[in-house]
Structure 1
Amino acid sequence: MTERFIRGLARAKWVVLIGWLAIAVASMLALPDLAAIVRETEQKFIPADSDSVVAKQLMERINPETTTKSSAILVYSREGGLTEQDRDWLKGKAEELGKLSGKDGFKSVQSAYETPELAEKFRSKDGTTELLIVGFARADNDVLTQEAVDTLASKVKGAPSGSKVELTGSAPIGKDFQSSSEEGLKKTELLTVILVLVILLIVFRSPVAPLIPLITIGISLVITRGLVAAATEFGMPVSSFTQSFLIAVLFGAGTDYCILLIQRFREELNRDGDKVEALVRTMRTVGKTVAFSASTVFVAFFLIGFAQFGLYQSAVGVSIGVAVTLIAGLTLTPALLMVFGKATFWPSKVADGQGHGESKLWGAMASLAARRPVAILLVAVLLLAPITLLYQGKRSFDDLAEINPEYGSVQGFRQVERSFGAGEVFPLSVAISSADSMRSPDALAALETASANVAKLEGVKEVRSAVRPLGEQLADLTVSSQLTQTSDALQQMKDGVDQVSGGLLSADSSITSGQADIRKLTGGLRTMADKTSEAQQGLKQIYGGMQQASEGAGRIAGGLKESAAVSDSMDVDLQALLKKYPELAKEAAMQQLLGKQQGLAGGLMELSSGANQLSASFEQLNPGIGKAADGLGQLADGQKQAADGTAKLEGGMQQLSVGLKDGAKGLGDISKGLASVKEAQQAIGASQIPGWNLPQAALDSPELQQALDYYISEDGKTAKLDVVLAVNPYSPEALTTVDQIRESLMHSFEGSAMEGARVYASGTSAQILELKDISKSDFTRTGTFVLIGIFIVLMILLRSILAPLYVLLSLGFNFLVTMGIVEFIFVDLLGKEGLSWSASFFVFLIIVALGVDYSIFLMARFKEEYRPRGITYAMTKAMTTTGGVIISAAVIMGGTFAALMLSGVNTLLQIGAGIVIGLILYATVFMGLVIPALANLFGEANWWPFGKPAAAAEQTGSGSDSEGSRILEQAAD
């Protein structure tokens, strides 16, 4: 910084102060609220092209009117079992909440009362718990959804005494996560301010001096929050970590920078008491050190912006804070020093001769590093390398671990977990996209096969799909069930065939009996025909021998009586035949026979009555006898025809008898065949061969159509499956199960009507699996960027390639050792499933970004102290003059991050612990022994490839880098 600028700054101190205050006020009034934006922001930052996001988009196409984007589960429980009063209360609440559908973010309500056929899905088997599911129209983090959760919470108050009502599910858990984070943030802010204030009071022994860094950092934080919030409108992501890291980094690094300035100002003020000249000398000497220190932090957090993962990117806001704090530190802090002047250090007095001293401890470590560099490196590696093996990279993705267990959403989740299983709260949803419609029998059969295969997986409790709407296979559509039904039908058919066969055999017996009667009838007809011929001859004789008529009258009367008897007998036989075989009445010959028989009966009756009068009225009978003779001739012909017809009837009945016997035999064969088919089907059913068949009639049924509409889109090209896991959705087993489900579905579709269909998984477990892969790959990618950026800064500062390389290697080794210790504490000792999935990344980022400051302090002084006397002298001098600076900076920085450990948020606890351990370890072991040993070991090669630095002038307080970097040493004294 130029002297002219510094003097102008000193003169315009009040303008500068008022200007910063005005900017802070304007930021609060005009810029967005960062806390509100974070509250409405999705915290997992799943990329837009990820499977889970695509799955949600696809499933919204199925039935947009009923699809919900978030939900809450009302968990009602009572120890010992629910009562009728409990169920009545729940039923009333279901009806009351149902009226809110379509209003204020509410979309649907599902319960045992709305859908009785699914009652078992809402009631636990032990009878202690019942669920009521409320769907919301918007995402978990949406303001309208959060307000709807509040409304729901207010409406479920006043439950019957002795019962317990909690809200869990995605929306309540998301809301409690935000509340927990905000409470932790407030706690962190307060603890950080208190901690920094205590440290500053100890360092400065003055109540005034701490006000300068607190005012500087406080104003910087207010402005930074507004700027970061405004930057979100241009696509910069933010998260709860953004606010936490802003507080920790700004108070940690900012306090270090302010201490550098204040301590140096005090030293310079000792010279002549002129505060303006003291400020000029302070800014000229310390400014460069502060700028380089802040630049490494700025570069590290700025390069985070090139990460692909949104949660990692959210840390880029810290770079804005570092930039604002640096500007404030170089302008506002000097202005405040001018305002307070010597009063800054009240009640202490600024005395001449106060300055910095040299640390004997660090001098001893420098001597050891110079004499035994190889031994120090070997011992460090042998002692620390095994600790790195403790770091197995075990990570936990359990969001519930981030929330206070006393929160209702956590207690509700645990109750569901105990009564139903954790998978009921966060089922896995699988979207299936196909080029062809899946509403066909073949596609649904393939879907059933896939559902059955998924249901067999160890980590799966239940699969619900279009063909399994209730989570169970539709028994009526299984091949084994249909075989059983067919077998029963075949048995009935067999019984019917057996009955028909028996009837035919009975009919054959009756026909045989009828044949004998017909033979008698035929004989009688022929006899009648013969007798009728004889009567005709007699009448002819009467007609030819009128003289003999009187004598033959008696014989005629007797013959007529005999004929009448025969005719009566024939009539009886015919009537009996017709009664037994009514179908003969339809035969033309039979009808003719009946007519003639009736005529014969009438004629005989007339002859019988007229024979007695024959003698007296012969003259009158002679013409009638002639006619009678003709009639008898006709009658004889008719009787012969009737006899021929009955003979033919007998033959037909003989053929019918043979046919009936053949039919009965055929039906017997059919009966045997049906029995064989039934036995085969029973064998198939017993073998439990899987199979599924969907007849068109079943496909068109209203019940199945309703299931299709819920699970398959109207065009049939998008379908979904709901998979209830048998394991905790946050567990590693759940992640393995998600992969198995994908593989099972794709394998099931091969060679089926759904071959080529694409599968996308969504839900908590699916998102966690994506987070696992995305965060891991982006960690490597972004970490490389950060290391390269810091390497470039160090190379420019030190004018060397080798020195920055071993500095970065030491930072990396320190990170592995730190994570080994942290994982051992939280996983092995405290029994955690793993470290929070984002903890390792942020520990790495902050340890590297802030730890490199200590390297700058040491290596910049090392470069300045390089003399013809060699490496040993330069490193010893650098260590003795900056060791206290490094320790003080580590204590202050570690203290601000230690406040995160008391936030109550599990991830911040682990990050805070990791940073405290890492910074202290690096500031002592690595900066005290490892880096000096490496510098001594490489000797002149430290300056490769740019060559040795030029000899520095004797320190006169005239602007060397060492002047600024050594100021903090006083804080360690």
Structure 2
Amino acid sequence: MKRSVEVLLSRYAHIVNKFKWLIVILWIAVVAAAVLYLPNLQTVVSRQSQTYLPNSAESVVAGKLANQIDTKHKSQSTVVVAIRNSHGLTNQDRGYLAQRVQDLQNQASSFHITYMQDVSNSPSSVASKFTSKDNTTEIAVIGLSQGITDPTINHTLKHLYASFSNVPSGAKVYFTGNVPIQEDALHGSLDAAQKTAVVTVILVLTILLIVFRSLLAPLLTLIAIGLSYVVSSGLVAWAAQHGLPVSTFTQTFLIAILMGAGTDYTMIMMNRFREELTRTHDNEEALTAALRGISKTVVFSALTVLISFAVLYFAHFGLYRSAVGISIGIFITLLNCVTLVPAVMSLMGRALYWPLQPKPGSSHRPSRIWNWTSGVSIRRPWTVLLILAVILVPVGLLFSNVRTFNPMTDISNSTSVKGFNVVAKAFGQGQVMPTTIVVKTTANLRTSKGMDSIQQISRNLAAVPGVKEVDSATQPVGKVIQGFELAYQNDQASSGLKQISGGLSKLSSQLSGNQGQNGVSQIGQLQNGSSKVTSGINSLAKGASGLATNSQKLGTGAQGLANGISKVQAGVSSLSSGTSQLAATDQKLAGTAGALANAIAAWAKQHPASTQSPSWQQIQGLAKGLSTGTNASAAASTKLAAGAKQAAQGMAGLETGASKLAGGATQFSQGASQLASGANQLASGSKQVTNGIGKIKTATGSEVSGLGQAAAGTAKMQSGLTKVQRFLHQSRVASNPGFYIPQSTLSSNKSLQQAMNSYISTDGHIAKFTVVLKDNPYSMAAIRTMTPLRQAVQMALAASPVGHGTVYIGGTTGTQANMNQLSSQDFVRTMSIVFIAIFILLAILLQSVLTPLFTLMSLAATYFVTMGIIQNIAIHMLHQPGVNWAVPFFAFLLLVALGVDYSIFLTSRFDEEYRAGRGPVSAMRHSMRAMGNVVFSAALIMAGTFGSMIATGMSTLTEIGLSVVIGLFLYTLLMLGFYTPAVIAIIGRAHAWPFVRTAEEDDTDSLGAGTVRNTPELEN
């Protein structure tokens, strides 16, 4: 097998040498075609930047459902415009913002504007939310039909910015929001890619000049990589237009990896070619030997990187999948390294290394560092491994994966971040980008029960720590509509009962006085009215009793209470008629009755909405009848009529309160016993009144006694009403005050309908809640709040009249929480796929299982130690809350995919030496001597390309660049320098398990395989 491969490579070298000019011309033609016909990657990335989340993600679904609610305010993105005057906003400042908003509104279609909200075009109840409490800042919200991925969003934002020119003196205008921040981050990343390219070229050229001490070899390397990048970027851009995921990281990493890995592959080929030129005068012979010795290493090294990025296509998270395009670049670079680079080497020969051209018989300098590290590790392998564990394990344990999702740390000097800081200072951090919670249910939320459920959810959300404000259909400005709270309604009913109680008190005193003697002649009618009162109060007592005995059927009992009160009112009407006839002889009562009628009319003017109630109309009829009958009232009944007047007034409030109580009775089961007790006292007192009046009718001589009993009964009625009134009044301060909106109010109240249209879908099955957090919407504190918010909604739903529904959380923080969850879940899955792919390739290349295993262990150890260091740098030196959320993934991918290259460089040479007849220890020692400088140079180039990211000033790229630099240093110096030879010294010939090698082995530490046998320095 090995012999056939060598023959194949020899033939390939002959073909390259024969058609070298044709290969060069073909590459020039390919590059020209790429420039002319393939799209520009930077342009495509700016237009097709990914949101990273699949359409099934919760935050994405929440956004789609929210757009179904308020179709007038439907938008794909929003921009917040803020005007600020540190000395306080003037009328000129406010007028300027209002005029600009109006101008934009007139050109809405040109600016892709779907809606605008500011002080001037918002209801008075909402307008206060647009001006800061210190009166220094005012904002306007602009909805756009374009999303961040829309190709014209940048053009729209530029026009918006330009429209706010000529700002009044002393004021400044800022633009912020999710879209401006993301757009600034996008341009920052693209600018960073350009900076990275310039710095990388300078660093690579400098390193290559030092390594080769030649002018032409570095130039050939840069030209070859440049041509690879032109073709690769064009192909990636074309693939992106046809569905390949891309992101702002795609271009940056394509530049860095092609410059790093491409330079490594080119350098190792030219280094081997120079080595072979020291053995022969013939260029073709040297090229053939170089390709035989190094082609397999280069191909497998490139394949590990290629496959590591290609398998990311199977990831779920959009950002991970956006790195797939780099595999295209690696493939083109590999083609370049095995076609164009050998062709140019054949063309130029020794001139490629001018002025220090290699000569036959000259030596190849061995690595002194790896010569020393391998010697120490081979002599004391267990000690070396123990020392490495003691040093590295504690550092690796420092990594706790504390991440930050805040893109503003990368663009802290951008205008959008400055605007965010201004608005956050004036209104709070969460005001700029609130969290959206959407509830979807099969029930109709545009009902009394639905609104009650919405208020329960709103109340639960507001109680979650970290929540500043909750806006919903029941509290559109963050505060509940007080008039619809049962506690408030009960307090109003309590006031009515208090008036009735006062009237009954006066009635009792009058019945017990001498003035009541004049009405005996009309006592029959009074008894009939009193009987009706007793009947109504008995119904009241029955309803209250049902309320007390069965709290789950409290609504039915409360309705019975309402019916009983209606009967009471009918009885009071008859009683009023009786007292009118009783006082037929007293003309002074007419004036009192007139005052009653005037008071009722005045109350009706103040409460016009209540006059439409049938109950209220009954009260008005009663008042008119009373006014007619008082012309015949006796002078002694003046105070009695005044009491009846107060009773009639209070009865209307009692009936209204009882009706509302029926809708929200479930909130007050704990007070039902008190209510039943009061009703029983009412019934008992009413019966005494009837009995007393009956005695008056049957025995004139017992009039005074009967009226006395009536007075006592009335006193009991007053006592019972007092208990009910106290209970209703106390409910006003209950922890759960209840909520009820009559269905008729839902249909007629325009303000309420406007609130429902803003927060509830037209079919009533979707409701939206806007939650303003106290923390920065990108912070981990805000992200951690998402779970308690979800639990609060679910608990409220379970206890509400609706009883069920599905909860979706969206908005900026909801999106970040989804990204946190999905990226964490997909990271383990993706890491497993990459490890499996690399293991299979290494097993095929090295024909071993153990060697790939300990190689991957060294890579994993390098990753965790590196991240432990990077996390502490980010927190303690860069003053960030944690590493950027994308850093752990890309650090792992780069360190594993690129670090394994250097392992392949070493283990391939080790395998070559081992198959040449050396034992494991000798083969490893000679391999490290021969490959040390090559690996260090390659790692230095790679570290330089990624280290150039530090110059971008973006914290994310800085952390990624540092992770590659630190990781490659750890891997080449500690893992390859100490760990690998120590493991080989321990496992010996078992490194090839389960494969068996039959050739004789010499485990002496003398000469190596290939041309290194002619290198006397290696024996020193």
Structure 1 counterpart of 2:966, which letter? I
1:248 is aligned to 2:256: yes
Find the counterpart in structure 2 of residue 819 from structure 1. 867
Structure 1 counterpart of 2:489, which letter? Q
Question: Distance between the aligned counterparts of 2:273 and 2:587, measured in 1?
Answer: 141
Structure 1 counterpart of 2:156, which letter? A
Offset, 1:63: 2.7
Deviations 1:100-123 (CA, angstroms, capped at 9, x unpaired): 334432111111111143222111
Structure 2 counterpart of 1:47, which letter? P
Greater Cα shift, 421-430 or 853-862:
853-862
Offset, 1:286: 2.5
Question: Distance between the aligned counterparts of 1:761 and 1:456, measured in 2?
Answer: 17
Picking from 223, 231, 235, the partner of 1:227 is 235
Find the counterpart in structure 1 of residue 202 from structure 2. 194
Picking from 908, 921, 924, the partner of 2:970 is 921
Structure 2 counterpart of 1:933, which letter? A
Question: Distance between the aligned counterparts of 2:918 and 2:330, measured in 1?
Answer: 38
Offset, 1:688: 4.7
- Rg: which structure is higher? 1
Question: Distance between the aligned counterparts of 2:807 and 2:158, measured in 1?
Answer: 36
Find the counterpart in structure 1 of residue 929 from structure 2. 880
Find the counterpart in structure 2 of residue 601 from structure 1. none
Find the counterpart in structure 1 of residue 114 from structure 2. 107
Structure 1 counterpart of 2:221, which letter? P
Picking from 795, 804, 807, the partner of 1:759 is 807
CA contact (8 A) 2:903 2:976 kept: yes
Question: Distance between the aligned counterparts of 2:968 and 2:444, measured in 1?
Answer: 60
1:358-507 aligned at under 5 Å gives the runs 358-403=366-411, 405-494=412-501
Structure 2 counterpart of 1:401, which letter? T
Offset, 1:890: 0.8
Structure 2 counterpart of 1:939, which letter? G
Find the counterpart in structure 2 of residue 938 from structure 1. 987
Structure 2 counterpart of 1:134, which letter? I
Question: Distance between the aligned counterparts of 1:942 and 1:8, measured in 2?
Answer: 37
Question: Distance between the aligned counterparts of 2:723 and 2:1011, measured in 1?
Answer: 102
Find the counterpart in structure 2 of residue 330 from structure 1. 338
Structure 1 counterpart of 2:479, which letter? E
Question: Distance between the aligned counterparts of 2:55 and 2:586, measured in 1?
Answer: 93
Find the counterpart in structure 2 of residue 34 from structure 1. 41
Question: Distance between the aligned counterparts of 1:969 and 1:164, measured in 2?
Answer: 74
| Equivalent position SS for 1:787 | helix
Question: Distance between the aligned counterparts of 1:942 and 1:199, measured in 2?
Answer: 35
Q: Which ranges of structure 1 fall in alignment gaps of 5 or more residues? A: 515-575, 586-649, 955-959
Offset, 1:374: 0.7
Find the counterpart in structure 2 of residue 88 from structure 1. 95
Find the counterpart in structure 1 of residue 818 from structure 2. 770
Deviations 1:92-148 (CA, angstroms, capped at 9, x unpaired): 122122223344321111111111432221111111111111111121231233322
Find the counterpart in structure 2 of residue 622 from structure 1. none
Q: 1:732 to 1:967 in 2, by over 3 A?
A: farther
Question: Distance between the aligned counterparts of 1:747 and 1:71, measured in 2?
Answer: 31
CA contact (8 A) 2:926 2:1008 kept: no
CA contact (8 A) 2:247 2:322 kept: yes
Greater Cα shift, 224-233 or 743-752:
224-233
Find the counterpart in structure 2 of residue 568 from structure 1. none
Find the counterpart in structure 2 of residue 74 from structure 1. 81
Question: Distance between the aligned counterparts of 1:693 and 1:655, measured in 2?
Answer: 50
Question: Distance between the aligned counterparts of 1:781 and 1:925, measured in 2?
Answer: 28
1:684 is aligned to 2:684: no
Q: Could you tell me the percent identity over the aligned residues? A: 38
Offset, 1:795: 0.9
Greater Cα shift, 832-841 or 12-21:
12-21
**Count, aligned residues:** 840
Deviations 1:501-553 (CA, angstroms, capped at 9, x unpaired): 89998686488899xxxxxxxxxxxxxxxxxxxxxxxxxxxxxxxxxxxxxxx
CA contact (8 A) 2:49 2:246 kept: no
CA contact (8 A) 1:107 1:137 kept: yes
Structure 2 counterpart of 1:372, which letter? R
Greater Cα shift, 92-101 or 423-432:
92-101
Question: Distance between the aligned counterparts of 2:789 and 2:137, measured in 1?
Answer: 29
Structure 1 counterpart of 2:331, which letter? A
Offset, 1:900: 1.4
Structure 1 counterpart of 2:826, which letter? D
Find the counterpart in structure 2 of residue 539 from structure 1. none
Structure 2 counterpart of 1:888, which letter? S
| Equivalent position SS for 2:922 | helix
Question: Distance between the aligned counterparts of 1:706 and 1:965, measured in 2?
Answer: 85
Structure 2 counterpart of 1:710, which letter? S
Find the counterpart in structure 1 of residue 791 from structure 2. 743
Offset, 1:335: 2.8
Question: Distance between the aligned counterparts of 2:1011 and 2:413, measured in 1?
Answer: 50
CA contact (8 A) 1:213 1:255 kept: yes
Offset, 1:879: 1.2
Q: 1:487 to 1:963 in 2, by over 3 A?
A: farther
Greater Cα shift, 494-503 or 261-270:
494-503
Offset, 1:491: 3.5
Greater Cα shift, 124-133 or 930-939:
124-133
Greater Cα shift, 114-123 or 663-672:
663-672
CA contact (8 A) 1:264 1:967 kept: no
Name which structure has the greater RCO, CA cutoff 8 Å, separation 6+: 1
Question: Distance between the aligned counterparts of 1:830 and 1:103, measured in 2?
Answer: 43
Structure 2 counterpart of 1:940, which letter? R
| Equivalent position SS for 2:152 | helix
Q: 1:961 to 1:311 in 2, by over 3 A?
A: farther
CA contact (8 A) 2:189 2:249 kept: no
CA contact (8 A) 1:429 1:721 kept: yes
1:648-797 aligned at under 5 Å gives the runs 671-700=718-747, 701-797=749-845
CA contact (8 A) 2:923 2:1008 kept: no
Structure 1 counterpart of 2:784, which letter? T
| Equivalent position SS for 2:791 | helix
Deviations 1:143-195 (CA, angstroms, capped at 9, x unpaired): 23332211111011221122121100011111101111111111011111111
Deviations 1:629-682 (CA, angstroms, capped at 9, x unpaired): xxxxxxxxxxxxxxxxxxxxx999999999999988776665554444322222
Offset, 1:948: 2.8
CA RMSD of aligned residues (A): 3.4
Picking from 20, 24, 29, the partner of 1:17 is 24
Find the counterpart in structure 2 of residue 893 from structure 1. 942
| Equivalent position SS for 2:445 | coil
Structure 2 counterpart of 1:446, which letter? S
| Equivalent position SS for 1:432 | strand
Q: Which ranges of structure 2 fall in alignment gaps of 5 or more residues? A: 1-7, 524-584, 591-628, 633-696
1:207 is aligned to 2:256: no
Structure 1 counterpart of 2:954, which letter? V
CA contact (8 A) 1:286 1:961 kept: no
1:950-969 aligned at under 5 Å gives the runs 950=999
Q: 1:951 to 1:322 in 2, by over 3 A?
A: farther
Structure 1 counterpart of 2:135, which letter? G
Find the counterpart in structure 2 of residue 911 from structure 1. 960
| Equivalent position SS for 1:818 | helix
Q: 1:147 to 1:503 in 2, by over 3 A?
A: farther
Structure 2 counterpart of 1:113, which letter? S
Q: 1:968 to 1:315 in 2, by over 3 A?
A: farther
User: With structure 2 as the length reference, what TM-score do the two structures score?
Assistant: 0.77
Offset, 1:77: 1.2
Picking from 254, 276, 288, the partner of 1:280 is 288
Question: Distance between the aligned counterparts of 1:384 and 1:809, measured in 2?
Answer: 13
Q: 1:95 to 1:500 in 2, by over 3 A?
A: farther
Question: Distance between the aligned counterparts of 1:969 and 1:778, measured in 2?
Answer: 52
| Equivalent position SS for 1:130 | strand
Q: 1:210 to 1:411 in 2, by over 3 A?
A: same
CA contact (8 A) 2:437 2:769 kept: yes
Offset, 1:312: 0.7
Deviations 1:39-97 (CA, angstroms, capped at 9, x unpaired): 13344411221111111121122133322221111121121221222112112122122
| Equivalent position SS for 1:132 | strand
